[in-house]
Amino acid sequence: MAATEQNRQRGLENTDLASGNLVSSPAHITLREGLILGSYGEEGDFAEKRFHLEESSLQDFATLWNEGDDCILAFARRNGVLGVFITNPDAMNDRYVEPCKGWRQYSRQAQAIMNIAARLRVDEVGSQEDWGVLREHTMDSGDMRPESELDWQRLKLAHVLNHWLKIGLVRPHAFWNVEARTWQITMMRESSLAGCFGALALMLAKRAAGADSIPTCSYCGTAYVPKRKPKSGASNYCPACRDAGVPVKQAKRFSRANKGKENHGKAR
């Protein structure tokens, strides 16, 4: 059985940072008096729809704060409800009642996160306006303030991203890949949460890190952001394992193993 199928049976959905994000949502999404309504239909119907978000979805979402309600509805019908405003958790109809005002709030925050991340990548601090938009996420960071303002803003941005991932119920999960016969750690979203917020949070984290994908260390399995993209099929190691000399130790180990195989073949 494929590992992805095993994950689905455990109630998890793999959200791959490299290829996009699969999310579920009520199939019936409408607009009424400034509210986005997500409904599964009548009792016993449970009309659900799957959406595959592309990287362009994040940019589209980040512009909604300056758009009308109809544009928010169009986005929701292409990508699903946000999933963070569950007003009627036991109802089939109007289970998700999401104010367009709330959509705009999160949209503006997404734009602020991308603006700040872009400036920090070129060693410039984010604007006061953008940080003001994110104030609710930075008031209780608990981090010790370093001397460098750039480091301080990077710490605050990490706190904001972690808050978004927490809201979206995105967590690291470990699983045994039967086909590859190896342990893997990946970021997954709890499948009990419908909507696209978790997927958007993952995209934001990737955008802030400036990475096309988030690999895991071949030795310890820790997810990390590489300085350059690892070669396909080659072993890659996190900074901690590199500092510990793991790549050299592993190369020697594989070399001894290969020599042992060659000697065994000659003896036969």
Query: From CA 46, how far away is CA 68, in angstroms rounded?
Result: 29
Q: Burial letters for 118-132: b for 16+ Cβ neighbours within 10 Å, e otherwise?
A: ebbeeeeebeeebbe
Question: How distant, in Å, are the alpha carbons of 5, 24, 52, 202 from that of 98?
Answer: 32, 16, 21, 21
Query: From CA 180, how far away is CA 233, in angstroms rounded?
Result: 12
4 band by pLDDT with thresholds 50, 70 and 90: very low
Taking only the tens place, the pLDDT of each residue in 43-75 is: 556 678 888 888 789 999 999 999 999 999 999
DSSP one-letter string for 96-151: EEEEHHHHHHHHHHHHHHHHHHHHHHTT-PPPHHHHHHTHHHHTT--PPPPS-HHH
pLDDT of residue 45: 63
Given a cut of 50, is residue 121 above it in pLDDT? yes
pTM: 0.70
Mean pLDDT score, 3-12: 36
Query: From CA 153, how far away is CA 147, in angstroms rounded?
Result: 11
Question: What are the tokens at 126?
Answer: 């984010």
pLDDT of residue 72: 98
Given a cut of 70, is residue 264 above it in pLDDT? no
Nearest to 21 by CA among 41, 59, 51: 51
Given a cut of 90, is residue 224 above it in pLDDT? no
CB 99 within 8 A of CB 34: yes
Mean pLDDT score, 149-172: 90
C-alpha dihedral over 75, 76, 79, 81, to 10 degrees?
A: 150
CB 196 within 8 A of CB 57: yes
Q: Among 10-19, 28-37, 145-154, 209-218, where is mean pLDDT lowest?
A: 10-19
